[in-house]
Structure 1
């Protein structure tokens, strides 16, 4: 009989399988997860997006700029115009009105503005188009360079993040390997203590031998507990570096042995400085300073714009009249039809800053000094990186040699312990001898793992120094 599972159960089991698979990470997957989820890495990616949008914003400056406006207003009291009274001029106040006011020839009087009604309105649409602006051209280049700078800074941030994740990743593997080895030591010591206890119970061993082994066993248990806590802490540190949920399980693929037997022995002989993203960042900053110098020069060139305006205006004796189309209303006979009259204008505008009190000249000199400072920084940076690579290469070489020595010492200490254990079980050795052998073995194992950690860190630092992870 064929069993049929409900589709919901199938999907649940499948999702559980997939989830379990996603909890297993190798080094590259850990670094990729960190790049996608760590806050600084995300912000660096967002900064790159902002830079790309800033380029588009700068491009928009050279596109047509269109503005619209509308304005209606009412003047309860129109402003007066002032004039000198000249009899018989036929302009302004009449002679009869002047005589009634007692004006003499040459007197100044204020009269109502006959050429303006109390309400007026205006609507227009204006456009400008940049034809030439040297600073705009340089600004476009600077915006693209700024985008490149954001990308280089993102690369640097992610490169540093990958190095931190790699260190945390291998620390977890080392602590797991150390815990496995110390657990094996503890199991062996517990078995030996149990056998000695039985011999003591039957009268074939002294109590001092049992006590010696008991002290060693207690120390081994404490040491194992310490390394369990250390392994848990190192896993939490890795999750933190990745921004991985601390309460979610995470399993690492592979073992530290795979790394020890492979790339840790590789010491590069040469490198390309351009692979360093921080070096590329300094170079890009220098480009921006050079563009800033070009912009100062460009500010001395003329700016040419085309412009145009299309609009309509009207006047009326009252505010409501602005929205009517009557040819005559409210006793305004002779004024003409109240309607909107169109107008338009087109032209070219040139602005040229001909003299700025030598400010531009001094700005150019300052910018040239800034560029020389960056050139000095680049020279010093190149020297520092070469020394750093050489130093890390020496550290890795020494760490590899020390790792080989400590590995041999650990194997010899293991052999000595095995022989001491055999002698003790055969009755030709003492518990003191086996305790001493165990202490020497633990010391050799500790030295080996310390050397292993130093070699791993030296390899990561050298890889970072030559820019391989960029």
Structure 2
């Protein structure tokens, strides 16, 4: 039994250690997976989804006004101070010209009734149904706008991490190459083929590069924190990225914008819906001039007695019933609807002006983002060539130094130029990736791929 117990205990410990490792294992995300995760877990998307549900509930609330309205009410009271009425005293044989207080109200009274009403015609109600449906469309578009904004933010944060990681890999390779060169130079000094100054210069360069790598490591950590924030992910959970920069498509051929439709931009589509709502608002105000017709019905009973026990006896209750049509015809409202209509027409006019202004803004964004991406790609190609030249110069400088025909200072300068070229290249690459996201957003294609 002890052996079995030990085996069972070891099995449990094994499972717990595996579970612990699984919990600490970083989650892997491609860009698409990161965006999908954000669209499910970001708090902003949850708020936008709730707003959509609120809009749907609002439609149900408006519809309910056209359904039968039924109410049941009951009341039993004690007239502990009965109300009195003055009657002429001569009715009771008293002198003329005098009045006597008389109580007509019994001590206990009660009433119970059920009432129902059904709206038969109301122009405002019919317009309200159409407006509610349009409002639901607006909330859906606002949800889509939030999704696009989150997609943009996650994409930019994801690219920031990728570029920083790629730059760290280059720094690591530079450190390794410089470390090898430093060790060789130290050995050359021991053999009398190099000076201590050469070793010191390389040491300073190596230390500076090591500090730069540490800064890059911290930048990657901060970039990952920003990415997890944009994704709605717990900051304590580790994360790893599966996409590679080499597979990211940034092509000059995709800069051209053809057959663009303003409705592709969610901001423009939202303004169109707001314009439709403004139009329905005018119709709703005008519908207030139409008559309203409703069917009303009531059924119940009343009771009055000086004994409370009479409340429980059905014979003491007097029934009543009523059914009828209610017609309300607006005649004059002090010109209220007239001024409401003026305001609504101005709001509609402003909505149309907003659409024109948005068209102009979109045109500017398209031209600007297209030009920015073109410039960024040209700069990227130039920096790529510069980096390749700097790498070749650093390689040749190292060979010359090792063969004794070059100086240590030449190597230091070459390494410094190489690091600067690498920094400029990755800065240009980052600018190109961000410009690509901006152009996708400007054309209304962001998040549709």
Deviation at 1:447, TM superposition (A): 0.8
Matched, 1:186 2:175: yes
User: What are the Cα deviations for residues 439-462 of structure 1, in whole angstroms up to 9, with x where unaligned?
Assistant: 111111111011001101100001
Partner of 1:45: 49
Distance in structure 2 (CA, Å) of the matches to 1:187 and 1:265: 38
Matched, 1:214 2:218: no
Partner of 2:431: 454
After superposition, the Cα gap between the structure-2 partners of 1:151 and 1:355, relative to the gap in structure 1 and judged at 3 Å, is: same
After superposition, the Cα gap between the structure-2 partners of 1:210 and 1:13, relative to the gap in structure 1 and judged at 3 Å, is: closer
User: What are the Cα deviations for residues 91-135 of structure 1, in whole angstroms up to 9, with x where unaligned?
Assistant: xx333xx2xxxx12xx25234245x53221111111111111111
Gaps (5+ residues) in structure 1? Answer: 87-92, 326-337
After superposition, the Cα gap between the structure-2 partners of 1:21 and 1:308, relative to the gap in structure 1 and judged at 3 Å, is: farther
Partner of 1:143: 132
Deviation at 1:323, TM superposition (A): 2.4
Matched, 1:112 2:102: yes
After superposition, the Cα gap between the structure-2 partners of 1:228 and 1:10, relative to the gap in structure 1 and judged at 3 Å, is: closer
Q: TM-score, normalised by structure 1?
A: 0.88
After superposition, the Cα gap between the structure-2 partners of 1:18 and 1:213, relative to the gap in structure 1 and judged at 3 Å, is: closer
Deviation at 1:16, TM superposition (A): 7.8
Distance in structure 2 (CA, Å) of the matches to 1:389 and 1:380: 14
Q: Secondary structure at the match of 2:193?
A: coil
Q: Secondary structure at the match of 1:121?
A: strand
Q: After the TM superposition, list the runs of 4 or more consecutive aligned residues in structure 1 that deviate by more than 3 angstroms.
A: 4-22, 82-86, 261-265
Q: TM-score, normalised by structure 2?
A: 0.92
After superposition, the Cα gap between the structure-2 partners of 1:132 and 1:55, relative to the gap in structure 1 and judged at 3 Å, is: same
**Matching of residues 53-132 of structure 1 within 5 Å:** 53-84=57-88, 93-95=91-93, 98=94, 103-104=95-96, 107-113=97-103, 116-132=105-121
Partner of 1:341: 318
Q: Secondary structure at the match of 1:308?
A: strand
Is contact 2:122–2:290 with CA below 8 Å preserved after alignment?
Answer: yes
**Matching of residues 58-457 of structure 1 within 5 Å:** 58-84=62-88, 93-95=91-93, 98=94, 103-104=95-96, 107-113=97-103, 116-259=105-248, 262=250, 266-270=254-258, 271-324=260-313, 339-457=316-434
User: What are the Cα deviations for residues 278-302 of structure 1, in whole angstroms up to 9, with x where unaligned?
Assistant: 1111111111111111111011111
Distance in structure 2 (CA, Å) of the matches to 1:222 and 1:7: 46
After superposition, the Cα gap between the structure-2 partners of 1:360 and 1:135, relative to the gap in structure 1 and judged at 3 Å, is: same
Gaps (5+ residues) in structure 2? Answer: 1-6
Deviation at 1:341, TM superposition (A): 2.3
Is contact 1:264–1:455 with CA below 8 Å preserved after alignment?
Answer: no
Distance in structure 2 (CA, Å) of the matches to 1:246 and 1:7: 32
After superposition, the Cα gap between the structure-2 partners of 1:224 and 1:14, relative to the gap in structure 1 and judged at 3 Å, is: closer
Deviation at 1:361, TM superposition (A): 1.2
Deviation at 1:268, TM superposition (A): 3.7
After superposition, the Cα gap between the structure-2 partners of 1:362 and 1:312, relative to the gap in structure 1 and judged at 3 Å, is: same
Could you tell which deviates more after superposition, 352-361 or 41-50?
Answer: 352-361
User: What are the Cα deviations for residues 409-468 of structure 1, in whole angstroms up to 9, with x where unaligned?
Assistant: 101110111111111111111111111111111111111011001101100001111111
Partner of 1:328: none
Query: 30, 34, 41: which is aligned to 2:38?
Result: 34
Could you tell which deviates more after superposition, 172-181 or 315-324?
Answer: 315-324
Distance in structure 2 (CA, Å) of the matches to 1:47 and 1:257: 40
